[in-house]
Amino acid sequence: MPTNQGFQDNTPAVIMSSKQSLPAPKSVDTQSVLKRLQSELMCLMMSGDPGISAFPEEENIMSWKGTILGSTETVFEGMEYKLSLSFPTDYPFKPPKVKFETACFHPNVDAFGNICLDILQDQWSSAYDVRTILLSIQSLLGEPNISSPLNTQAAALWSNQEEYRKMVLKLFKPAS
Amino acid sequence: MASGVGESITSSSTQFQSSSASSSNANNDAGSFECNICFELAQDPIVTLCGHLYCWPCLYEWLHRHSRSQECPVCKALIQKDKLVPLYGRGKTTKDPRSNPMPGFNIPNRPAGQRPETAPSRGSNHFPHHGFGSMAGSFTFSAAMSSFIPEFFSVNGFTNGARFGAATNFPFGFSNSIHGGHAHGFVHPPTHGQQADSYLKMLFLMIGVFVILTLIWA
């Protein structure tokens, strides 16, 4: 319960600042987005999924930071990747923009951290949430789609898992 | 401006507190009744054929403004509008402010439930049509006969009734089925055994009537 208490104390301040920084969207609409993000946050904190976490940034509940741990028995094992999630005002009808903040050497992640994942684009569904997005990205790490790579070098190296692991370790820079 | 911001702060923080209280309860109690889009207790609840629950405004918005094909957000099954089922609970219907989440974007009324015919009443269920028909037929027939020979018929009917009725432990069944057959038949629908009895009685009555008729004309 102490985490819950902290969360309750914390979040109104988050909402407060988000109200100021939002570019004056429709109030009714924003209310439902805020409610949904709050219930997602609550759900994430209660569920305690191993290997994923997310929390709103200090300034803005429409913008979250997430972390993903590389799954065991993949070349990403033990790596911790930070991501940014930016929610549109018509969330959840539109997907959030999700990017890797930590450089990630992966066939479906480009040099800027953009992710090529269908559920973040045309296969988005409003039933998805932060938790399912992070879990999807976590499983994408271990099961890349080699046929449409953003990072062709990573796609080419994927078949050699030993070399790939070395590359991952070499390129990994913990986020500052 | 400053006061406007202040107002929105207080309203949203109180809102948050109430919603956090309700959703922590909801996790335990009402989680199965949360809309799959807004994650709140479903308002104007509607269920797809694949069984997924939504607020009608949420589902409408998804289907009409965002979904490329009309598919269920949870399982991607095709959603046909005429196959949606509204849920009518017992609680009072309060107007939800979210029922029009997009100003200037009209959401039509929730589709109505498809109501099958009213279940047939129990009485007519236990009273097969042919049974009723033959009964009515003989009733009109005997009524016609009784108009020809009222005295003979009524005497015959009564005595027959007493005799066969006693034999089947159903003293008034026979005369009932003839003289008051219609009304009594509906109020106390006969069981199968009783029906067989009444067919038998009808047969005996017919034979009796013909015997009497032949006696008269002979």
Q: Considering only the beta carbons, identify the residue of A20, A42, A93 that sits closest to B61.
A: A93
Q: Residue B67: closest CA among chain A residues belongs to which residue?
A: A125
In a domain, A149, yes or no: yes
In a domain, A164, yes or no: yes
In a domain, A10, yes or no: no
A79 Cα to chain B: minimum distance (Å): 31
pLDDT tens per residue across span B55-64: 999 999 999 8
A53 Cα to chain B: minimum distance (Å): 19
Structure tokens at A21: 């920084």
The answer, yes or no, to whether residue B66 has pLDDT greater than 50, is yes
DSSP class per residue in A110-160: -TT-BB--GGGTTT--TT--HHHHHHHHHHHHHS--TTS-SSHHHHHHTT-
In a domain, A114, yes or no: yes
Distance separating alpha carbons of residues B8 and B101, to the nearest angstrom: 18
DSSP 8-class letter at A22:
S
Are B103 and A26 an interchain contact pair (Cβ–Cβ within 8 Å)?
yes
Give the global pTM. 0.60
Burial of B6 (0-12, 13-18, 19+ CB in 10 A): exposed
A99 Cα to chain B: minimum distance (Å): 22
Touching check for B101 and chain A: CB below 8 Å? yes
In a domain, A64, yes or no: yes
CA proximity to A37, closest of A84, A88, A99, A3:
A88
Single-letter code of the amino acid located at B28:
N
Q: How confident is the model at residue B176 (pLDDT cuts 50, 70, 90)?
A: very low
Torsion region of A73: left, alpha or beta (phi above 0 gives left; psi -120 to 50 gives alpha): left
Mean residue pLDDT of chain B comes to 66
The answer, yes or no, to whether residue B65 has pLDDT greater than 80, is no
Interface test mutation site (partner A, options B3, B5, B20, max chain A beta carbons within 10 A): B20
A172 Cα to chain B: minimum distance (Å): 35
- Those residues whose C-beta lies under 8 Å from the C-beta of residue A63, and which sit 6 or more positions away, are A56, A57, A84, A85, A86, A87
* CATH code for the domain in which residue A53 is found: 3.10.110.10
In a domain, A22, yes or no: no
Contacts 24+ apart (CB under 8 A), B209-213: B209/B142, B209/B145, B209/B153, B209/B156, B212/B152, B212/B156
Q: Considering only the beta carbons, identify the residue of A27, A35, A43 that sits closest to B40.
A: A35
Are A36 and B15 an interchain contact pair (Cβ–Cβ within 8 Å)?
no
Beta bridge partners of B78: B71
Name the residues of A annotated as catalytic. 116
Q: Walk across the sheet containing B53-55 and list its strands.
A: B53-55, B45-47, B85-86
Average pLDDT over residues B140-146: 48
CB distance B54 to B45 below 8 Å: yes
Q: Residue B21: closest CA among chain A residues belongs to which residue?
A: A8
In a domain, A4, yes or no: no
Are A126 and B36 an interchain contact pair (Cβ–Cβ within 8 Å)?
yes
Distance separating alpha carbons of residues B126 and B192, to the nearest angstrom: 8
pLDDT tens per residue across span B151-172: 444 444 444 444 444 444 444 4
Single-letter code of the amino acid located at A138:
Q
In a domain, A157, yes or no: yes
Average pLDDT over residues B91-113: 64
Touching check for B66 and chain A: CB below 8 Å? yes
Among A29-33, B21-25, B33-37, the minimum mean pLDDT is found in: B21-25
Structure tokens at A89: 């005002």
Distance separating alpha carbons of residues B207 and B213, to the nearest angstrom: 10
Please, what are the domains in chain B?
32-92 (3.30.40.10)
Higher pLDDT, B170 or B107: B107
Q: Considering only the beta carbons, identify the residue of B5, B16, B36 that sits closest to A12.
A: B16
Stated as kind and residue range, the H or E segment containing A67 is: strand A63-69
- Angle of CA points B37, B39, B40, to nearest 5°: 120
Higher pLDDT, A95 or B25: A95
Host domain of residue A93: 30-171
**Structural domains in chain A (count):** 1
The answer, yes or no, to whether residue B47 has pLDDT greater than 50, is yes
Q: Considering only the beta carbons, identify the residue of B20, B61, B62 that sits closest to A8.
A: B20
Q: Residue B13: closest CA among chain A residues belongs to which residue?
A: A12
ipTM: 0.75
Are B39 and A39 an interchain contact pair (Cβ–Cβ within 8 Å)?
yes
